Amino acid sequence: GQQVMQIPQYQHVQEGEDFTTYCNSSTTLSNIQWYKQRPGGHPVFLIQLVKSGEVKKQKRLTFQFGEAKKNSSLHITATQTTDVGTYFCAGMEYGNKLVFGAGTILRVKS
Amino acid sequence: ETGVTQSPTHLIKTRGQQVTLRCSSQSGHNTVSWYQQALGQGPQFIFQYYREEENGRGNFPPRFSGLQFPNYSSELNVNALELDDSALYLCASSLPGGSGNSPLHFGNGTRLTVT
C-alpha cells in the first residue's frame, strides 16, 4: 500500500538557522498536505499542494511539491522558538485516504 | 464557529474491554475521519464517515468500528482491547467531499491507555 516517508526524524537547530524536512511517497499523489503538531497538541493544517512543481510560501515557510508529485519539502527560514513542534506531511492518493508520514521533530535552541 | 470536540480526553481500560470515543465535527463539516497516533508516530488512518456511511478504511481489524449520526457527530468503538491499542485517538472533520480536497480539522484527541 501507499507509504509516506519523512526525513530527518529529528532536528535540533540554533534559533535563526534554517530548517528543512523532506517527504517522499511510494506512489504518485493527487495532493499533499502539511500539518504542525505542538507538543501535547493536535495536528494543525498548514497548507495543501496540488499541482506538479507547485511552490507556496507562508511568511518564513516555503513548501514545494515535486514535478512527479511523489515528493515534497518544507523549508523554514530563520527559525524561531515558536516553530518548535512536529511537522507532518500527509499524502493523498486518488481516493480519500490521507496517509501521514512519521513526522520531523523540530527543536529550536535560543 | 465551534471546532472539533472529542470526549473523553483521557481513558484507562483493561485488556479485553470495549471502549467508545465520541467526536463532534466542526460546524458545516459533514465528513469525519478517525486516526490513531501512537507515541512518536504519525497519525494512522482508521476510517472515514460521510453521510453516515463508512467511506474508506485503513488497515485496522473489524474490532474497530464506527458510526456517524445525522448531526455529523461520530463514534469510534473498539472491542476486545489490546495493549497495543494504547494511543491518542484523533477525530478530524472536513468540508463536504471528504479529506481529499479539503484540510482536516483535528480535535484535541482522546488518550487511551490499555492495561
B82 Cβ contact partners less than 8 Å away, ≥ 6 residues apart: B15, B114
Residue B1: predicted pLDDT: 56
Query: What region does A88 belong to: left with phi over 0, alpha with psi -120 to 50, or beta?
Result: beta
Q: Are A33 and A92 in contact (CB under 8 A)?
A: yes
> Judging by DSSP bridges, how do beta strands B110-114 and B10-13 pair with one another?
parallel
Taking CB atoms and an 8 Å cutoff, what residues of chain A touch B105?
Answer: 45
pLDDT in tens, chain B (115 residues): 569 999 999 999 999 999 999 999 988 888 999 999 999 999 999 999 998 999 889 999 999 999 999 999 999 999 999 999 999 999 999 986 555 568 899 999 999 999 9
> Measuring CA to CA, how many Å separate A108 from each of A11, A34, A79, A80?
9, 19, 7, 7
Out of A48, A92, A103, the one facing B42 most closely (by C-beta) is A103
Q: What is the mean pLDDT of chain A?
A: 95
Taking CB atoms and an 8 Å cutoff, what residues of chain A touch B43?
Answer: 43, 88, 100
Taking CB atoms and an 8 Å cutoff, what residues of chain B touch A43?
Answer: 43, 90, 104, 106
What pLDDT digit, counting tens, does each position of B45-77 carry?
A: 999 999 899 988 999 999 999 999 999 999 999
CA distance, residue B50 to nearest chain A CA (Å): 11
Residue A93: predicted pLDDT: 75
B103 contacts A45? CB cut-off 8 A: yes
Query: Strand, coil or helix: what is B84?
Result: helix
Band (pLDDT 50/70/90 cuts) for residue A95 is: low
